[in-house]
Amino acid sequence: MSRRKAPSKGGAGRRRRFGLGLAVGTLAAFVVVRRASASRRMPNLAVWQRALSEKRGETNAARLAALAQDRYEELFAARPSPAMRALRFHVERGILPGLAVYQTLLEGSSDRQAALAEMESLSVWTLPGARRLMPLLGHLRDPFPVFRRLDRWVMRFGFPADGWQIEPVEDSGNCIAFDIRRCFYLDTLTTYGAPELTPIYCARDDALFALLPPSITWERTMTLGRGDDRCDFRWCRAAAKGQVVGPTPGRRSAS
């Protein structure tokens, strides 16, 4: 009589390997911090240009991209240089590219609201790597434990206490929840005289986490950038939605 192998072991091994591969891919994305610190080429410039060309045409988009690159170089030369590498990464690859494009759009128009509206339509184009990684979770039978581990790693190394004040609410097998009381992006953009740009960066989170598999829910009803007193980040298993402990009182819609 032939012996049959238990399918669970092979399946578990494949899931472990997939989870490891996903973690390695995420780690590789953050390793670019060292290389990015030495570069003055605006990150994702070609991506910004393609997005602009859909609204402005190729010729005008090329002109604006060149102006944004020049502006980025000026901002880069005078940039703050925090001691922590993670904060330098956020300045150079997160904040300054969007600020350079925003200031370029403002130079060609006195309509600040129109510039903000155009930035909002362009913002999701600045996350090409992360947008490719997130859907990979959908290939896992139970993606929440992997997402939970990745979230811990990203928050620990990518969002240090020197830049963010984070208050834990829940970290369980069903939900991840925390409130942010101070945000490095809001603080930095305020220093540059452009705090109104912060909600554009908030919208990137919404665009990114909308790509999570249906088994993981994402909710944030308040953000500092939109005028609230905190950012309430919540991820839960879909079956456990509404069970997160320590609900934030006085929530209001962020829309």
- Residue ranges making up the domain that contains 81: 18-240
Higher pLDDT, 110 or 174: 174
Identify whether 99 is part of a domain: yes
- We report the CATH number of the domain holding residue 58 as 3.90.1520
Helix (H, G, I), strand (E, B) or coil at 176: strand
With bands split at pLDDT 50, 70 and 90, how would you rate the model's confidence at 255? very low
Q: Whole-angstrom Cα distance, residue 177 to residue 187?
A: 23
Q: Whole-angstrom Cα distance, residue 197 to residue 226?
A: 10
Q: Whole-angstrom Cα distance, residue 119 to residue 105?
A: 9
Identify whether 208 is part of a domain: yes
What is the predicted pLDDT for the residue at 33?
Answer: 41
Identify whether 8 is part of a domain: no
pLDDT at residue 176 tops 80: yes
Identify whether 171 is part of a domain: yes
CB neighbours of 180 closer than 8 A, spacing ≥ 6?
164, 165, 166, 167, 224, 230, 231, 233
Burial class (CB within 10 angstroms; exposed 0-12, middle 13-18, buried 19+) of 223: buried
pLDDT tens for 183-239 read: 999 999 999 999 999 999 999 899 889 999 999 999 999 999 999 999 999 999 998
What is the predicted pLDDT for the residue at 108?
Answer: 75
Q: Whole-angstrom Cα distance, residue 44 to residue 72?
A: 12
What is the predicted pLDDT for the residue at 10?
Answer: 59
Q: Whole-angstrom Cα distance, residue 78 to residue 231?
A: 29
User: By C-alpha distance, which of 219, 133, 215, 207 is closest to 174?
Assistant: 215
Higher pLDDT, 222 or 255: 222
Number of domains in the chain: 1
pLDDT tens for 12-43 read: 665 566 555 555 555 444 444 444 444 589 99
pLDDT tens for 84-135 read: 999 999 999 999 999 999 999 999 777 899 999 999 888 666 666 666 778 7
